[in-house]
Copies of this chain bind each other. A is one copy, B any other.
């Protein structure tokens, strides 16, 4: 497969992206190839610093860059020669099989939706994060910010999308899908979570196990945890913030070490017709490596095809 990397994306690009690409190249199989997308001169200069053979990679030139502060939609439209825009052009024309960037996550989402489109039947694509469980496993939390205002049917689909990802990428059999809520019992919550609970209870498209409270997020009570993007983003950044305070204070602990974002490399955009990975803005070389390996795993899991098939036989469809 061919994995496109936005060399210009991320706070530490291009130094961290090229270093990460070199790390990933060593771990990928000979049939996988990384396509470096960005200013050719910069790419060759960085490879030179590592005394690396440019022939290990394909290079696609892009002379412009979308900044972190730019408005995503405007930037995608106004900068067709940016590394992100070029990456999506390559993806759309199937010259690459996956596209990954630690740059503007907004531009990555807009680009994904406009270039490769939603899978038919997906109301809103979403993004996820991994929550390390105390018992050693991993759970998925979604959405983490793509949909700050979600409707119950959108939330229902998050359950389905997360369930397919947990099964196919993280190899969890019959994943338990829980709804993040402010009480364990049915009937608790805000209007959105109450309505979502009813849909999930009636639906037969995934293994819904009820509400989960945020104090139990790490207790292996669910494999997939569904929430709206506002709540998910608040939760994710709080967890990150607490982890960073612990690191700053010199606290070392086997379990909490697993909260380090570098280990995970980012999130696929779930619900689109291709493989797009959004990395963390502060990605270092290890995070970039893991972003590229995640792109490979998500591609090989054939998520898009599986989501398409699942949606064609979905039991719950509600639109208001």
Binding site for B on A (CB under 8 A): 134, 145, 148-149, 180, 182, 189-191, 193, 213-218, 227-231, 233-235, 237-242, 244-246, 249, 251, 253, 255-256
Contacts and interface: CB of A to CB of B under 8 A. Distances in A.
Most interface-central of A215, A227, A231, A249 (chain B CB within 10 A): A215
17 contacts: A148-B189, A148-B191, A149-B191, A180-B234, A182-B233, A182-B234, A213-B237, A215-B241, A218-B242, A231-B234, A234-B234, A235-B235, A238-B239, A239-B242, A245-B255, A246-B251, A251-B253
Contacts of A180: 234
A112 to B, nearest CB: 19
A245 B134 contact: yes
A228 B234 CA distance: 12
A68 B105 CA distance: 44
Contacts of A239: 238, 242
B231 A215 contact: no
A251 to B, nearest CB: 6
A99 to B, nearest CB: 24
Given A148-B189, A218-B245, A251-B253, A182 B238 contact: no
A145 to B, nearest CB: 6
A191 B230 CA distance: 10
Contacts of A134: 245
Contacts of A218: 241-242, 245
Chain A interface helix/strand/loop/mixed? helix
A215 B238 contact: yes
A19 B236 CA distance: 39
Nearest to A187: B71
Contacts of A245: 134, 218, 255
A255 B250 CA distance: 12
A214 B235 CA distance: 7
Contacts of A234: 180, 182, 214, 227, 231, 234-235
Contact of A214 (B216, B227, B241, B255): B241
Contact of A217 (B214, B227, B238, B253): B238
Contacts of A190: 148-149, 228-230
Given A190-B148, A230-B231, A249 B242 contact: no
Given A214-B238, A218-B241, A237-B215, A230 B149 contact: no
A249 B255 contact: yes
B237 A193 contact: no
